[in-house]
Amino acid sequence: MVFERRVPIKTGNRTSRSKASGGYRKRPRPSIVDGLLSGFSRVIIGIILLILLVGGGYMTFLSLTLPDVSIISKTIPHETTTIYSADNVVLADLHKEENRLIVPLSKISPTMRKAVVALEDSRFYRHHGIDPIGIVRATVVNVVRGEKAQGASTITQQLARHLFLSKQKKFQRKVAEIVLAFKIERKYTKDEILEMYLNQVYWGHNAYGIESASLQYFGKHAEELSIAESALLAGMLRAPEFYSPFRNPQEALKRKDVVLKRMFQTHLISRKQYQDAKQKKLNFVTRQNYKYKAPYFSSMIIDKLVSMYGEEAAFNSGLRVYTPINYRMQLAAEFAVEHAIKNGETEGLNYSQAALLAMDSNTGYIVAMVGGYDFRANQFNKCTQALRQPGSSFKPFVYLTALSKGVSPGTIFTDSPVVYDTVMGPYAPENYDKTYEGRMPMRAALEKSKNVVAVKLVSMVKPESVVETAKLFGITSPLYPYLSIALGSQEVTMLQMVTAYSAFANGGPLVKPVSIIRIEDRNGVVIYREKTETQKVFDTNLVSALVEMMKSVVEKGTGTAAKIPRPMAGKTGTTSDFRDAWFIGFIPQMAVAAWVGNDNNSPMVKVTGGSAPAVMWREFMNMALENVPMLDFQKPAGMEEISICWTSGKKAGAYCPVTSVEKFWEGNTPTTFCDVHGGGSRVRPDSATPEKKPADWVKDLIEQ
């Protein structure tokens, strides 16, 4: 028996029954179409459930194979090592693949954070890793335009991609990106995610992270970025090389305006801020000709870091290296060297290289270093690597040795030809100009840089003693006890000579050169500190006596071209055939060496230490000492002054032709008057030219 269910028909509040059916309506039989639709729905639902099941299982499996996001906080990314000058100028950023400087979010401009969020992920603070609204919006826009015009990846997804995944656009990567984004969101706060993102992303020209980008494009730290600067940098993220202000400045500025408009539309900046930032002129950093500032010095520091920590740590561990270079003085040194080269070219003097090195005489700090001309063409550092003959700039070691043996600055020596019989054959030293002036005080011989007198002094005090003195003052190059050591014939480095002259400047203590003050790791912990090492190597009073003699070199000797309006001393140096020319001078606070020559050791055109190097030295000092106080050297004690006759070496009489006031050690002062010039001519002190009228010559001849 078949039962037919009758369904009541509701009408208002009453239930009516059809008369034909006894008050009940028959349920219509399902049609064939309804059956097909019902079956299709089940299939669709089944497929959806299957996809969800398979997808869920796949994502679960994928989740188990993906990295643990907690390692982000433990992972130490490659970070750029930075070398700083004493006045906080970045001299060099060292990195291999990635130029990156890590900074906390608090050190990133709020406007920079807003710009990135506005452009890359406006709902960043409202979603949990992925942005469904953003996905729908991007899909619609891309379908309408028929191309990929917008992306839907959140900042968290992009961070996951940067840290863990390849950048290939594959389905598996996209799914993994979503899974990791959820994991990251559960593990870290929004601010932590944004901080990691801003320190990871690429900003073009090998700059990774916002701090590196900010310094590279604007020369300022990320916390100092303005709204307009932030907008420009945010706009670069989609295509860093294309939107680079260095490569496509017009496109970069257009992109900046797009970002500013977006920031205004999302209420991150006011209308006035938007209009002001849009009109603001941006000042970009001029790209360096050299990879590093102070390139010779920076390269020396890099070599030192590699030897201390290895190449990987030196370039990628985020070290902060603080050096004593004074960048204002460094620029003055670079200008002086370049000017010397141009003058040499203009005057046809045939030298192609010049170098300058300055050192604080009290601390040993290297404050300026120019190791040559044109670092791109020649990286060989003439300050530290080149072994060159110092010429007469070596003579102070000879004269200091003589002072230590009891010889006084006023002791008379004869400037005349001499021949020595040595194991290598006869040796006959000559003066630079091949002329001889006869008898003169030792001080004047140094002032005039008389080669013959210097060799006679070496013969008197013994060459071994001169070698010993030079080594006490930091000359580490091999030195041999030959008479020619007086003329600077044995090779040394500029750094050795400046170290020695620094000891002259500060009265005897030898200070070790310092190129690094301290090194900090990426967390600011000091891991290395270079201490100032000072050792008294010579009697202060003897050094003070030498310095007084060297002051005479600048006041009226071979170094007058270097004279500056403050107490100073120095010595010129010129080697045979004019292959090297030096001037090394000092004030109480600093010693500086200047050199010109050629890498191939070819001769110059009569360039002496008193010409191009002395001028270069003076130009540097006039610029470098702008804010350095004027000090004088310590006066030597235990000496007596007396006017002497150059011919007899005794106290000058009224008619001695050539006289000067000289200093003698107490007990060695001449006590008798000149017995040679009973009726000699009266002259001015310190003058080699008699001051008298022609008629007086006749009178003197009659009296003699």
Please give the Cα distance from 486 to 392 (Å, whole number).
Answer: 7
Q: Catalytic pick from 85, 98, 109, 120? A: 120
User: Are the beta carbons of 583 and 570 closer than 8 angstroms?
Assistant: yes
Q: How many CB atoms lie within 10 A of CB 332?
A: 23
Q: How many CB atoms lie within 10 A of CB 39?
A: 10
Please give the Cα distance from 580 to 351 (Å, whole number).
Answer: 9
Owner of token pair 């011989």: 445
Does residue 223 have an active-site annotation? no
Contacts 24+ apart (CB under 8 A), 599-602: 599/352, 599/353, 599/378, 599/380, 602/350
Please give the Cα distance from 54 to 137 (Å, whole number).
Answer: 27
Q: How many CB atoms lie within 10 A of CB 524?
A: 7
Does residue 79 have an active-site annotation? no
Nearest to 404 by CA among 462, 489, 449: 462
Please give the Cα distance from 286 to 213 (Å, whole number).
Answer: 14
422 membership: H or E segment, kind and range: strand 420-422
Contacts of 600 (CB under 8 A, 6+ apart): none
Maximum Cα interatomic distance, the chain, rounded to a whole number of Å? 176
Q: Catalytic pick from 214, 298, 392, 660? A: 392
Q: Both tokens of residue 537?
A: 């190597």
Please give the Cα distance from 315 to 303 (Å, whole number).
Answer: 11
User: Are the beta carbons of 327 and 293 closer than 8 angstroms?
Assistant: yes
User: How far, in Å, are 162, 237, 241 from residue 168 at the CA level?
Assistant: 11, 17, 19
Please give the Cα distance from 593 to 598 (Å, whole number).
Answer: 16
Q: What is the CA radius of gyration of the chain?
A: 42
Strands ordered across the beta sheet of 590-597? 366-370, 353-360, 590-597, 580-587, 569-574
Owner of token pair 């019989």: 421
User: Are the beta carbons of 663 and 640 closer than 8 angstroms?
Assistant: yes
Would you mind telling me the total number of residues written for the chain in this entry?
704
Please give the Cα distance from 160 to 181 (Å, whole number).
Answer: 6
Q: CA geometry: angle at 416 spanning 653 and 485, to 5°?
A: 120
User: Helix 171-187 crosses helix 155-164 at what angle (to 10 degrees)?
Assistant: 110
User: Are the beta carbons of 493 and 580 closer than 8 angstroms?
Assistant: no
- Residues tagged active-site: 120, 392
